[in-house]
A = this chain, B = another copy of it.
Amino acid sequence: MRRVRCGSVLLFVFFLLLFPQSLFAQEADPATNPGHLTWMLTSSALVLFMTAPGLAMFYSGLVRRKNVLGVMMQCLFLMGLMSVVWALWGYSLCFGGEGKFIGNFDHVFLKGLTMGTETPGELPGGEVPDLIFMIFQGMFFIITPALICGAFAERMKFSAMALFSVLWGTFVYCPLCHMVWGEGWLYYGSEGSLLGGALDFAGGTVVHISSGVSALLAAMMIGRRLGFGSEDMRPHNLTYTVLGAAMLWVGWFGFNAGSAVAANDSAANAFVVTHLSASAGALSWALIELIFRGKPGVLGTASGAVAGLVCITPAAGFVQPMPALAMGAIAGVVCYFACGKLKATFGYDDSLDAFGVHGVGGTLGAILTGVFATQQVYPDGPNGSVQLVIAQAAAVGVTVVLSLVVSFVLLKILDITIGLRISQEGEVRGLDIAEHGEEGYIS
């Protein structure tokens, strides 16, 4: 607790130092089209909506009743925590400077972000004010670690989760984001990029693969839940999961179509293919369950929609509608097997299938982007080709290695210092009472 107290004092000192300072120059720029601005505001709101209520409902419905608040809290608290980190240094490490592997400190405390759109060349987001590009990107910084929480649900210490998220955000997300979107080593077409760079429209590598594989690692390092395999661990409230999935679907329009950073043809295309891929994913997972399980499951249909959404994410600005249908359909089937079979075979306890859906679906999407990308959608980009597939695979590889190595180090350190896992008694009582002193439902 001492640590935390110091931390909060430090935070306050930061604030006090910064109050009266001028952070950005206000220059009205007549060129900012209010239509673009509106779309990015709306998209930012939609992406936040994905984390909570969306993901909070989706995930919390899947755990047992006694952990429902614990899971929701992870989403809610990360909305607060990661946003503050983002404003203080996260954005700068992602989008500051022209480094190959990570940003710099030019924009710590949001220094130097202007309202005008005539921003210096090193800043992306040309169509909207830097500040709005910053907030939109910040919403991604929230949801990515929140996705990881699915893997170690129902047993991780809250404090460890919080610290891990800050560190992971800083040391995994920031470099990756910079490399992929900050015109770094993995950025398509940037100088000296790996095999020419990879396409990632809205976060196949940065968001889904990074979180998915880190999640898998975390699940394995923290171990299975008590009673895994013997106790009744059915989702306590599938209605939440369905509603959460629907909210994710809706919010994803902001995620993907917002990644055009303008209300333009690219956004329009992203919107359409996102919807179609989600639809096809829902359908194909339901059908494969009909075949292998005898009944189309509700959880399966919801998972299929999410799988379709994950898979189209890197491709949204590059592929056409019919291939999007195919991508969603494939994702539904592949993730079905990833969730149902991989876990059973290897015996790890990725409680809410963060890896099975996001890791696998993201990888699939990244690769298929290399297949289906077409200049008819994005004239400045490449067409699908073997070469592009290889570049995409290379980006996947870098993401996987970076995520695994850094996550491993971070988790080890946390395990040794404060411990990753709550006490047995706490786990039996549930996170809600043990970690937060509250209960989800009182009858």
A77 to B272, CA, bound (A): 18
- Is A329 interfacial (CB-CB < 8 Å)? yes
A 288-303 binary contact with B (CB < 8 Å = 1; else 0): 0011011111110110
A138 to B53, CA, bound (A): 25
- Is A271 interfacial (CB-CB < 8 Å)? yes
Cβ–Cβ contact A263 & B38, under 8 A: yes
Cβ–Cβ contact B376 & A267, under 8 A: no
- Is A89 interfacial (CB-CB < 8 Å)? no
Q: Which residues of B contact A250 (CB under 8 A)?
A: 45, 48-49
A311 to B122, CA, bound (A): 34
A159 to B55, CA, bound (A): 29
Which of B263, B280, B297 has a CB less than 8 Å from the CB of A41? B263
A 114-137 binary contact with B (CB < 8 Å = 1; else 0): 010000000000001101101100
Q: Which residues of B contact A293 (CB under 8 A)?
A: 437
Which of B15, B69, B280 has a CB less than 8 Å from the CB of A329? B15
A233-285 interface (Cβ within 8 A of B): 234-240, 242-243, 245-247, 249-250, 253-254, 257, 262-265, 267-269, 271-272, 275-276, 278-284
Q: Which residues of B contact A76 (CB under 8 A)?
A: 242, 245-246, 282, 298, 301-302, 305
Closest to A17 in B: B322
Closest to A47 in B: B250
- Is A37 interfacial (CB-CB < 8 Å)? yes
Cβ–Cβ contact A80 & B283, under 8 A: yes
- Is A163 interfacial (CB-CB < 8 Å)? no
Closest to A26 in B: B376
- Is A366 interfacial (CB-CB < 8 Å)? no
Which of B15, B60, B263 has a CB less than 8 Å from the CB of A239? B60
CB distance from A395 to the nearest CB of B (A): 22
A284 to B323, CA, bound (A): 47
A8-B284, A32-B265, A297-B437 known; 6 new pairs, CB 8 Å cut-off, are: A76-B246, A80-B305, A87-B325, A235-B442, A295-B436, A299-B438
